[in-house]
């Protein structure tokens, strides 16, 4: 959580910093259109500090109009969850596609974003049930933990995401971003006699159909073409 | 549109915090590994329920068991690690006087299936009593139990009686 607050404030500060640029009267500012590609820093960092996790995500967006961006993520996760009664490993690849709507009124030549968006995500994965414990309330004969190793292949799930986030230009064409996501499970192919407790890209599942996630992205903007915008005088 | 964006952002932020909450615990009342439900009947009058007095039920090698008195329906756990469970049903076994004890050993033979329950509860074991020799009463020349009848060989819930014992 500390990391999250730190990077959030970092992004906010950079937004503030950019806001300090001097005003000028009626100038033409070109709006740049292009492709932005990057990676999720959180997944990379987690792969280092969390023993049972390996993950990678590539993020990208393409500016369609003044406010709309075609956006998507593609990634791979391998996570072992060690719960009280279950220990399992989920491996798989996911793909998300959708759009972002930038609500931030940029001054001058700034290109920051405060956005909301939607994604449709699909994930294909497999699970290995490493071990499980029988729940016997009397516990008369002692705890019975079974080493299973059962594999469940060919699982898949799809979901809708509501995305909210910010992106700020740190240096020339280099962007730092943070987004949070509320997920709604649309389809979920469950294994026989087990459940999808973790879905790559979707994260942990709960009893209902909702889930949540977030990412911190570091991305690079590749300008493709420009359109002019006129800003009116501001004091 | 701006309002919608603002609402979405704050909602998502709230959710991201809520996401950090700890794992849930296995709620009481969740159907987990069932115990064997035994009902006691009068051997002389097989349709009439009969209450046990100071009945002790214990695994022969254990030091701790279960005591039942004044009830005609009891619940006993079966082994989830093996397809066989032997329990000593001791008449007057749960009182302090050991001289009046009458030990009857009963062996249950079954097959097991482990079924997934939930993240918090893990798995449960369901028991299926064998068609042949589901329950064996060890004859010791002085059995207080007269007869045993299997009513429901599939032990999947605790909501029904599985076995009737006549004494």
**What chain A residue is nearest to B34 in terms of C-alpha separation?**
A136
Task: Report how far apart, in Å, the C-alpha atoms of B55 and of each of A104, B58, B145 are.
Answer: 76, 10, 12
pLDDT for the residue B22: 45
pLDDT digits (tens, 9 = 90+) for B141-152: 889 999 999 999
Closest CA to A103 of A159, A160, A163: A163
Between A22 and A182, residue with greater pLDDT? A182
Q: Cβ of B48 under 8 Å from any chain A Cβ?
A: no
Q: How confident is the model at residue A228 (pLDDT cuts 50, 70, 90)?
A: confident
Task: Give A-chain residues touching B122 at CB under 8 angstroms.
Answer: 84-86, 132-135
Burial of A166 (0-12, 13-18, 19+ CB in 10 A): buried
Cβ(B144)–Cβ(B117) under 8 Å?
Answer: no
User: Is residue B13 pLDDT above 90, yes or no?
Assistant: no
Q: How confident is the model at residue B93 (pLDDT cuts 50, 70, 90)?
A: confident
pLDDT for the residue A235: 46
User: Is residue A14 pLDDT above 60, yes or no?
Assistant: no
Q: Mean pLDDT throughout A209-224? A: 92
Q: Cβ of B13 under 8 Å from any chain A Cβ?
A: yes
pLDDT for the residue A29: 73
pLDDT for the residue B19: 52
The Cα of B159 is separated from the nearest Cα of chain A by a number of Å equal to 16
Is B18 domain-assigned?
A: no
Report the alpha-carbon angle A166-A168-A173, nearest 5: 135
In chain B, positions 105-124, which contact chain A (CB-CB < 8 Å)? 114-124
User: Is residue B107 pLDDT above 80, yes or no?
Assistant: yes
Q: How many domains does chain B have?
A: 1
Is B146 domain-assigned?
A: yes
Is B69 domain-assigned?
A: yes
pLDDT for the residue A206: 85
pLDDT for the residue B34: 95
pLDDT for the residue B20: 46
User: Is residue A181 pLDDT above 50, yes or no?
Assistant: yes
Between A34 and A21, residue with greater pLDDT? A34
pLDDT for the residue A227: 83
Q: Which residue has the tokens 């006549």?
A: B166
Is B160 domain-assigned?
A: yes
Cβ(A35)–Cβ(A62) under 8 Å?
Answer: yes
Please indicate whether, in this complex, the C-beta atoms of B2 and A103 are within 8 angstroms of each other.
Answer: yes
Q: What is the mean pLDDT of chain B?
A: 88
SS3 call for B94: coil
Q: How confident is the model at residue A107 (pLDDT cuts 50, 70, 90)?
A: confident
Give the CA diameter of chain A: 83
Please indicate whether, in this complex, the C-beta atoms of B12 and A193 are within 8 angstroms of each other.
Answer: no
Across A16-20, A36-40, A60-64, least confident range: A16-20
User: Is residue B111 pLDDT above 80, yes or no?
Assistant: yes
Is B150 domain-assigned?
A: yes
Please indicate whether, in this complex, the C-beta atoms of B1 and A101 are within 8 angstroms of each other.
Answer: yes
Is B46 domain-assigned?
A: yes
Q: How confident is the model at residue B95 (pLDDT cuts 50, 70, 90)?
A: confident
- Considering only CB atoms, B119 lies closest to which of A4, A114, A197, namely A197
Q: Which residues, at least 6 apart from B149, have a Cβ–Cβ distance to it below 8 Å?
A: B163, B164, B165, B166
Domain carrying residue B109: 24-166
Q: How far apart are the C-alpha atoms of B148 and B144, rounded to whole Å?
A: 12
User: Is residue B106 pLDDT above 80, yes or no?
Assistant: yes
Task: Give B-chain residues touching A137 at CB under 8 angstroms.
Answer: 32-33
Q: Mean pLDDT throughout A118-128? A: 96
B133: left (phi over 0), alpha (psi -120 to 50) or beta: left
Q: Mean pLDDT throughout B50-74? A: 92
pLDDT for the residue B124: 95
pLDDT for the residue A30: 80
Q: Which residues, at least 6 apart from B65, have a Cβ–Cβ distance to it below 8 Å?
A: B56, B57, B58, B59, B88, B93, B94
User: Is residue B154 pLDDT above 50, yes or no?
Assistant: yes
User: Is residue B136 pLDDT above 80, yes or no?
Assistant: yes
pLDDT for the residue A3: 54
Q: What is the interface size between A and B, counted as CB pairs within 8 Å? A: 107
Q: Mean pLDDT throughout B85-114? A: 90
Domains recognised in chain A with CATH numbers: 2-231 (2.40.160.20)
Closest CA to B24 of A129, A127, A183, A84: A84
């Amino acid at each position: 959580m500390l990391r999250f607050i730190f990077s959030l404030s970092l992004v906010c500060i950079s937004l503030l910093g950019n806001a300090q640029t001097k005003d000028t009267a009626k100038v033409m500012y070109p709006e740049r259109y292009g492709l932005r590609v990057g990676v999720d820093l959180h997944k990379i960092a987690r792969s280092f500090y969390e023993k049972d996790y390996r993950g990678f995500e590539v993020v990208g967006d393409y500016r369609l109009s003044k406010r709309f961006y075609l956006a998507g993520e593609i990634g791979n996760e391998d996570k072992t969850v060690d719960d009280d009664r279950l220990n399992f490993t989920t491996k798989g690849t996911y793909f998300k596609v959708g759009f972002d709507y930038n609500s931030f009124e940029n001054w001058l030549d700034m290109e920051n974003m405060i956005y909301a968006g939607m994604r449709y995500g699909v994930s294909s994965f497999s699970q290995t049930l490493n071990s499980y414990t029988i729940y016997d309330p009397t516990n008369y004969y002692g705890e019975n933990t079974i080493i299973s190793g059962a594999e469940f292949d060919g699982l898949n799930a799809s979901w809708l995401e509501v995305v909210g986030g910010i992106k700020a230009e740190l240096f020339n064409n280099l962007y730092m971003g943070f987004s949070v996501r509320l997920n709604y499970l649309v389809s979920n192919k469950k294994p026989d006699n087990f459940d999808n407790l973790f879905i790559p890209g979707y994260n942990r599942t709960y009893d209902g159909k909702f889930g949540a996630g977030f990412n911190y992205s570091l991305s690079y903007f590749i300008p493709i073409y420009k359109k002019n915008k006129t800003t009116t005088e501001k004091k | 549109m701006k309002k919608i964006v603002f609402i979405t952002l704050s909602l998502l932020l709230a959710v991201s915090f809520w996401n950090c909450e700890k794992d849930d615990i296995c709620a009481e009342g969740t159907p987990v590994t069932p115990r064997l439900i035994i009902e006691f009947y009068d051997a002389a009058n097989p349709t009439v329920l009969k209450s046990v007095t100071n009945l002790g039920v214990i695994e022969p090698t254990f030091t701790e068991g279960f005591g039942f008195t004044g009830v005609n329906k009891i619940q006993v756990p079966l082994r989830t690690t093996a397809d066989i469970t032997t329990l000593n049903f001791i008449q007057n076994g749960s009182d302090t006087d050991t001289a009046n004890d009458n030990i009857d050993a009963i062996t249950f033979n079954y097959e097991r299936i482990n079924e997934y329950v939930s993240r918090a509860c893990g798995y449960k074991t369901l028991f299926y009593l064998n068609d042949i020799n589901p329950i064996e009463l060890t004859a010791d020349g002085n059995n207080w139990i007269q007869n045993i009848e299997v009513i429901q060989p599939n032990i999947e819930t605790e909501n029904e009686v599985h076995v009737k014992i006549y004494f």
